[in-house]
Structure 1
Amino acid sequence: MRRAIVVTGTDTEIGKTVVAAGLAARLGAFYWKPVQAGLDDGSDRETAVRLGVPTDRIVAEAYRLTTPYSPHRAAAIDGVAIDPARLSLPAVDGTLIVEGAGGALVPLADDLLFADLFARWGAPVVLVARTTLGTINHSLLTIEALRARGLAILGVVFVGERQEDSETTIARIGGVRRIGRLPRLDPLDAGTLAAAIDAHLDLEAFA
């Protein structure tokens, strides 16, 4: 069965790649990051491979931008014009995990946000959120923005130390499922991530 699941976040550097790679590896899915901005520290698809996604399950980016900025700005600096026509969901034989860049409302072009692209695809969304201070506001705003575009939200994956009140409040007010919470892993590798996914996430959300 062909289907796509989008992994987006409330902000940048919160663990989207870890969650997306972990889900792709655990579900036997394909991994795709349509736009990679910033290559000095390697790409997120390389991280996905390191975290257990087989290389033959990695779909190449539509755009690889060298500047580590928001995609719209990185593209302008790199002299690249992002064409939405190149951002159609790739056809794969199975489940495709798609990772956005930054938060859901990060712009890809002057008139195109990631959330708008998700809406064009009509794919359900997994929201990755921190557990630190400010997450209630950031999470609820992101949930509203996704729902305003008619997107189905499979649930929220929290990353960080347990904050029961924040996690419960977001799920209750946002009307979303708590898929679980991944602790910060040290070391972070394919083995520790797979074990954490099995121990802490409700994989029935993806059935």
Structure 2
Amino acid sequence: MRLVVCGTDTDVGKTVVSALLVQGLGATYWKPVQSGMEGGGDTGRVQQLLGLPPERVLPEAYRLTAPVSPHWAAERDGVSIDPARLALPAVDGPLVVETAGGLLVPLRRNWLQIEQIAVWGLPVLLVARSGLGTLNHTLLSLEALSRRSIPVLGLVLNGDPHPDNPRTLEALGGVPVLAELPPLDPLDREGLERQWQRSGLARSLQP
């Protein structure tokens, strides 16, 4: 299984979902573009959280200093993101690719992240928040993916369970809600393992 984890918005929990998938699938993790390096960036967070060996965590193609949109972060660092450097790595076994931000985030001023996802040709697992505001963000994201014929595995909703949003998103978005993940406290490897067993993602993501 090789897939792309993308979020509908900032801070929807896609790094936690990526870590969950990496652990559950025994996958290699790759975040090709990292904007903002506080705490080692998301690559460092995933490696620290899961205690992964170095070969399971690939280095970023771009490590950008400022925690802003990738195109601007690159300009501030005096570089231009080259899509040729974002080619999928050759790895054995499952691969989880985490994007920088949402689908229409520009990687440079003439290249959107969704365009890079289309080049990769991998299915997308879309991460969204569970509560207020998720309907608009999620349905717009699904529409953008559909217009470009990018396959969607389904949705993962992060946060306190909502009584209606999952049903509405499935009905209007036309894709399944694969899991609803409550906040994890503490957020650690053991908690992720328990959540993986409860979530049913192992069955949903069988090739």
- Shorter-chain TM-score bucket reads over 0.9
Cα RMSD (Å): 1.1
Q: Residue in 2 aligned with 1:164?
A: 163
State the TM-score, normalized to the length of structure 2: 0.96
Identity of aligned residues (%): 50
2:46 partner amino acid: A
User: Which portions of structure 1, spanning 4 or more consecutive aligned residues, are displaced by more than 4 angstroms?
Assistant: none
Q: In structure 1, how many angstroms separate the alpha carbons of the residues matched to 2:88 and 2:43?
A: 16
Number of equivalent positions: 205
Structure 2 vs 1, CA of residues 142 and 101 (structure 1 numbering), >3 Å: closer, same or farther? same
Aligned mates of 1:201, 1:141 — CA distance in 2: 26
Contact 1:50 1:189 in 2 (8 A): no
Tell me the equivalent position of 2:45. Answer: 47
Query: Alpha-carbon deviations, 1:140-199, whole Å to 9, x = none?
Result: 000000111111100000000001311110111111011111111111011111111211
Pair 1:84 & 2:109 matched? no
The CA deviation at 1:42 is 2.3
Please report how far the alpha carbon of residue 53 of structure 1 lies from its aligned counterpart in structure 2 after TM superposition. Answer: 5.7
Q: Which runs of 5+ in 1 are unaligned?
A: none
| 1:72-99 C-alpha deviation (Å, 9 max, x unpaired) | 0100111111111000000101111000
User: 2:152 matched to which residue of 1?
Assistant: 153
Paired position in structure 2 for 1:178: 177
1:148 & 1:203 partners in 2: Cα distance?
Answer: 28
Counterpart Cα distance in 1 of 2:21 and 2:51? 9
8 Å Cα contact 1:182-1:197 kept in structure 2: no
1:102 is paired with a residue whose SS is: coil
> 2:10 is matched by which residue type in structure 1?
T
2:116 corresponding residue in structure 1? 117
Residue 18 of structure 1 contacts residue 51 of structure 1 at CA under 8 Å; is this kept in 2? no
Give 5+ residue unaligned stretches, structure 2: none
Which position in structure 1 is the counterpart of 2:130?
A: 131
